A and B are shown apart, each in its own frame.
Chain A
Amino acid sequence: MNHRFPMSAGPADAGQMERELAYYRRECNTLGAGLLRLQEEQSQAFREARRSRTVAKLIREAYRLIDQSDLPEELGPPMLATVLENTLCDRAALLQEHPRGSGQFTVMHAVGLPAPALVPVLLPVVPAFFFTTSRSRIEPPAYQLTAILRVPYILWSYDETTGTALILGNQSESNVSRPFEDADQEIVEGALSVYIDITLRKRAEVEMREARIMAEEASSTRSRFLATLTHELRTPLNAIIGFSEMMATGSRYQLTAEQVGEFNTHVFKSASHLLSLINEILDYSALARGRTPLTLRWTEAGELVSASLGAASAAAAEREVRLATELPAQKLWIRVDRTRFRQILDNLLSNAIRFTGAGGLVGVQVVVMPDGGLRLEVRDSGIGMRAEDIPRALEPFEQIENPFSRSVTGTGLGLPIARGLAQAHGGSLVVESEPGVGTTVAVLLPAEAMHRGAAPPGGRSAEGSDPASPAGRPAEEAGAKD
């Protein structure tokens, strides 16, 4: 069926023309409106899709940040930049609650905020998720949360486990930044979760790196220790084996009686050295494992020092080193394991004498500290050490070069054992030294381990029993502190 389009033929058809024009106008506007709505729906759909993609994009970009930062603390700013770029918000901040559960938050990182608040923000209620719109009532927590970013429209997420919170904010609800809504929970919680996750990962990575370095150092130290130990043990053993072999029945060596006597002395000295070495290794090992039992008794400090000086006087005389002592007039009692504390003193004196040249001076001084503790120091006028060598001197088998006694080596365990024993007594050991001037090693005991007076606490002599303990009870034992 054919439809003929009405044709205008003259003025009489003007009305028809008007109708036709009106028709086209109407249709044009209707089609235009449809096109506009279609376009807008398409744009809206795309913006919605863009929001859905935001979380995925955020996660993807955030995980890349792990490789771009060295420390977990450095992740905050780039994370916020990533969040802002994806959400197109005006401002954003990461907050940390401290103490956990207190509702007191500090802004750790902020972007877009001219001057982030330095004072903590106290939230009476800490919601896990929250947002404000133009219809929100300004009451807690909206009041406090909007104050953080100083904008009226905020989006908040809080992770109770870590005490971390993320807040995003906009100046207006119009244009690009549409009003926040429930659906935004996915974005803000997603962003916060990712941030927490990458921070934990980075922290774990840093800890793992540090642990690896420590393990490598420990492994290196252990290897060095074992190498030195092997060497230290092998040297006297070689001497023992060698001289014994030479003196053995049927030996090819024709030794004189004098040589036998001399070699026998070498064997004896090497064996003795080996024994003391093994004893010290066992001591050091026990100290390192915290398994050194101490029998603490009140002992007169001056008497202990004198005994130790007396024992060292022969070695000092041999090396032409003078010994001196300076003790307080008043008697001082210290609560120590006498044997172990003597061991500290003997070690320190032995070291001081060995590292001091002929004509030098080694002095022992006992001082009461202002805090009531005791400082017992052994000072020498020997070769001294550089500051950077002091930590090494406190490590096992790490001997500082000694120009006075190249041929006579110590075990290299004396100072580490002395320090371990001082710590086992609840005290400490400090080393001060200056090359060419000398070294001072001080043992510090806490106030509770010292007593001034003619008699020890309890009024009885300390020797043989613990005056602090009821008669007949065994003396107190204390485990060494590592």
Chain B
Amino acid sequence: MLYRVGVIQIGYSRHSDARQAVLTCVKPLLGHRPDLVLAFCGGKLDPGTVLAALRDTLGDVPVVGGASAGGITRQGYGYSGLELVLIGFSGAEVTPRLVVQDLLPDEMAGGAALGAAVRGVAEDGAVVLLLFDSVASHLPLRLHPASHIVEGFHRGLGGREVTLFGGGLLTDMNLSDSWVFDGAVLRHHAAVALVFPPGIAVETSILHGCRPISTFMEITRIDGAEVYELDGQPALGVIERMLGLRLGEAQGQELSLVATLGQKQGDPFAPYDENAYVNRLILRASPATGSVTLFEPDFFPGAKVQIMARDNALMLDSARNGVAAMNRAIEGGDNLLALYIDCAGRASARSGALTEEAEVVRTGLAEGVPFAGFYSGVEIAPFRGYSRPLDWTGVLAVLRRRG
């Protein structure tokens, strides 16, 4: 019999009582006492109670992770905010090392400090899972820009090659709040990096679902995430003409349900390839300034963008194709954990898709691969050789032992 070291176990529950949720969820983890627990905690569960109950049942084990708009496992999935997903890592061969960093006052600097700290503990080629608190402020709503965190992280790495993937944490689909578990306590405005041991590799697949519906337009005026002009005209007016309606304040807030701005990478006139696009969701529209605010501030003046429509049929096709490609890639490997970081906007309640795409992933993934995931605010994955934040995608990552 082959002796295997290192175990990853998954628990799932949905209960309005946080303590009861933990007691149910933790059961599968009791077989092997975990050395670290990765927790994705529904935003309606009291995190203090969850932490205390985890301590009661598992002892003084580090708990990392944080809020999630919902949880996804083979056992069940949902986005009521009452889901709890626990992933227990037992054994040094699979248990990641933990690095924690504050994001304020400057996310770029915070990312750089995190990258530098990771450089100190990661070997070349290490797999790093990055999770961070998405909401920077509520009024006005501002997100911690993942593009700044990731850019800073790469700088901080100082040339160390790692495979970075991850996601932004959210308590719900309405971007109400977010927080992280840093191993010991609950924190706001912080990022955690899980640096996996050298024996662990990762295979990632990005699942898309947006289609261009306009010609190329040039961003002629932009300030951070605020796009003022497209082709020299107020950006909001351009989008309104596309939608064929006039957006007031309330409808402006719903723009993120309708359209995104996409930047095509590589040859702009190459045939359509969903993998060639970086999409940015629209956080809100401002009729007063004629601008739209994107989730990320990484577009720049002169960038050629297209208005993209979320296409639910395309999304489901992308999920099927991406999972099939992943199955081929991991076939025969020693697969430890499939982690699905799923943009909350892809959930049926928000996208309007007739089928839950998480269900497509869950049922499509090869049997026998432990599977867990969460609904996120932003997703980070290697994209054309460089990890970067993505919007309205699903990132399926399979951790496996290196051959």
Contact = CB atoms under 8 A, between A and B. Distances in A.
A260 B150 CA distance: 117
Contact of A25 (B172, B215, B243, B312): B215
Given A47-B352, A81-B82, A84-B82, A175 B257 contact: yes
Contacts of A178: 254
A43 B351 contact: yes
B348 interface: yes
Interface in B209-246: 211-215, 241-244
Given A32-B309, A78-B16, A175 B44 contact: no
A295 B41 CA distance: 74
Contacts of A431: none
Given A44-B352, A112-B81, A39 B242 contact: no
Interface residues of B, number: 45
Interface string A78-122: 101100110010110000000000000000000110100000000
A33 B79 contact: no
A171 B14 contact: no
B81 A84 contact: yes
Contact of A175 (B173, B215, B311, B354): B173
A37 interface: yes
B351 A81 contact: no
Contact of B173 (A35, A47, A111, A176): A176
A40 interface: yes
A29 interface: yes
B254 A175 contact: yes
A271 to B, nearest CB: 68
A114 B46 contact: yes
B174 A172 contact: yes
Contacts of A111: 16, 44, 82
A36 B243 contact: yes
Contacts of B263: none
A82 B329 CA distance: 39
A2 interface: no
Given A46-B352, A111-B16, A32 B257 contact: no
B250 A173 contact: yes
Describe A's contact surface by its main secondary structure.
helix
Interface in B11-41: 14-17
B49 to A, nearest CB: 11
A308 to B, nearest CB: 62
Nearest to A174: B253
B309 A39 contact: yes
A177 B81 contact: no
Contacts of B242: 29, 32-33, 36
A80 B14 CA distance: 12
A178 B353 CA distance: 17
A17 to B, nearest CB: 16
Interface string A368-381: 00000000000000
Interface string A152-190: 000000000000000000111111111100000000000
B16 A81 contact: yes
Contacts of B258: 36, 40
Contact of A36 (B174, B213, B349, B352): B213
B275 interface: no
B349 A88 contact: yes
B214 A39 contact: no
Contacts of A40: 243, 257-258, 309
Interface in B320-366: 348-354
B257 A43 contact: yes
12 contacts: A32-B214, A32-B309, A36-B259, A37-B243, A39-B310, A39-B311, A50-B348, A84-B82, A88-B79, A114-B46, A134-B250, A173-B253
Interface of B: 14-17, 44, 46, 78-82, 172-176, 211-215, 241-244, 250, 253-254, 256-259, 284, 307, 309-312, 348-354
